[in-house]
Amino acid sequence: MTRILAKRQLAPEVYLLEVEAPRIQKRWKPGMFIIIRPTDQSERIPLTIVDSSAERQSITMVIQAIGKTTKEAVALPVDGALADLVGPLGEAATMTTGKKVVCMAGGVGVAELLPVAKAFHDAGNHVTALCGARSDNYRILDEELKAGVDRLEWATDDGTFGFHGNVVQLLKSIAGPGDFEEGHVIGPIPMMKAAAEATRDWGLKLHASLNPIMIDGTGMCGGCRVTVGGEVKFACVDGPEFDAHLVDFDELTRRNRAYRDWEAKTMERHACRIGLDVR
């Protein structure tokens, strides 16, 4: 059992969870993830490691409660426990030094971006972070990002804060070919695909952190299969980060939709049992 030390709501349906994990805290690197089961009846879900504390022997994750298992996770109380947690999993994010770097994220991807953007900055790069949210009240970790990068810009879909539009439109409005040498993108698949398309001829080495469906996280089940540059890869062990310009995003979209009907039914049954309105 993994004790929950702290829980904080960051935005509608988005929660930060700090859990006791002394061994993971010592070994994780930005870009890596864990797999948790909130309860012993839950399925396994992957979550990015966002931060850690040696003093508190803990790691932090940020969870967007979108379905049954993420809702079970954020419903757990402080001093309660996750049924189990395994990690750190995956390869660390690619790092470089002395370069002009752009880090882009949308939605809960902003939390996943934070440790990577900070690591780029700490490694001696000039880091511009471009972050997207639905609306002003959905923006998360603004202070932490501001403190960790050289330049932070926000885009909101409804224009209530920063640039009116999405992150890729923001990117195109402030930069062009040659302005950045290295980049990292994480978030919804259409956004990562658009970022890759927009920068294909920019001479920018863009790394995308992919979010396929994962089950075991150890390369055994094949659930997280992705195609990169025509080759089959398993995101849990070969990634989750890959060359964005080589990823087959259409296949990733199809595979992530494979269980949509089942996920919707499961969520309805869950909401029904605990008396929630799912609309």
What order of strands is seen across the sheet that includes strand 151-156? 163-164, 151-156, 126-133, 100-106, 182-186, 205-209, 241-243
* C-alpha–C-alpha distance, residues 19 and 262, integer Å: 30
Interface pick for ligand FAD out of 59, 108, 208, 252 (rule CB under 6 A)? 108
Describe the chain by its helix, strand, coil percentages, rounded to 5. Answer: 30, 30, 35
Of residues 70 and 125, the one with the C-beta less far from ligand FAD: 70
271 binding ligand FAD? (CB under 6 A): no
Distance in angstroms between the alpha carbons of the first and the last residue of the chain = 33
The contact pattern for ligand FES, residues 129-168, with x = CB under 6 A and - = no contact, is ----------------------------------------
Supply the minimum distance, in Å, between the C-beta of residue 194 and ligand FAD.
Answer: 18
CA distance 276 to 267: 10
Structure-token match 């839950």, residue found: 42
Least distance in angstroms from the C-beta of 112 to ligand FAD: 5
Is 174 in contact with 184 (CB distance < 8 Å)? no
- Whether the CB-CB separation of 139 and 131 falls below 8 Å is answered with yes
Given the complex with ligand FES, which of 101 and 247 has the nearer CB atom?
A: 247
Binding of residue 67 to Mg ion (CB under 5 A)? yes
Main-chain phi, psi angles of 277, to 5 degrees: -90, 120
Q: Give the interface size with Mg ion as a residue count (CB under 5 A).
A: 2
# chain residues binding ligand FAD, by CB under 6 A: 26
Is 256 among the residues that bind ligand FAD (CB under 6 A)? Answer: yes
State the minimum distance, in angstroms, from the CB of residue 152 to ligand FAD.
Answer: 19
Pick the binder of ligand FAD from 66, 81, 123, 221 (CB under 6 A): 66
Is 272 near ligand FES (CB under 6 A)? no
Chosen from Mg ion, ligand FES, ligand FAD, none, partner binding at 61 (C-beta under 5 to 8 Å by type): ligand FAD
Any contact of residue 217 with ligand FES (CB under 6 A)? yes
Structural tokens at position 128: 């511009």
**DSSP H helical segments within 88-206, as ranges?**
109-122, 142-148, 167-174, 189-198
Told to check if 69 binds Mg ion by CB under 5 A, we report yes
Q: Which residue is nearest to ligand FAD (CB)?
A: 67
- Report DSSP state, residue 212: -
Identify which of residues 64 and 69 has a Cβ nearer to Mg ion in the complex. Answer: 69
**Cβ nearer to ligand FAD, comparing 39 with 256:** 256
223 binds ligand FES (CB under 6 A): yes
Distance CA 238, CA 22 (A): 25
Contacts of residue 78, Cβ cutoff 8 Å, sequence gap at least 6: 4, 5, 6, 7
Q: Are 112 and 31 in contact (CB under 8 A)?
A: no
- Can residue 106 be called a binding residue for ligand FAD (CB under 6 A)? no
Q: Does 60 bind ligand FAD (CB under 6 A)?
A: no
Q: How many helices (H) and strands (E) does the chain have?
A: 9, 17
Contacts to ligand FES by CB under 6 A: 214-217, 219-224, 234, 236
Contacts to ligand FAD by CB under 6 A: 33, 45-48, 61-64, 66-70, 108, 111-112, 211-214, 240, 256, 260, 263, 267
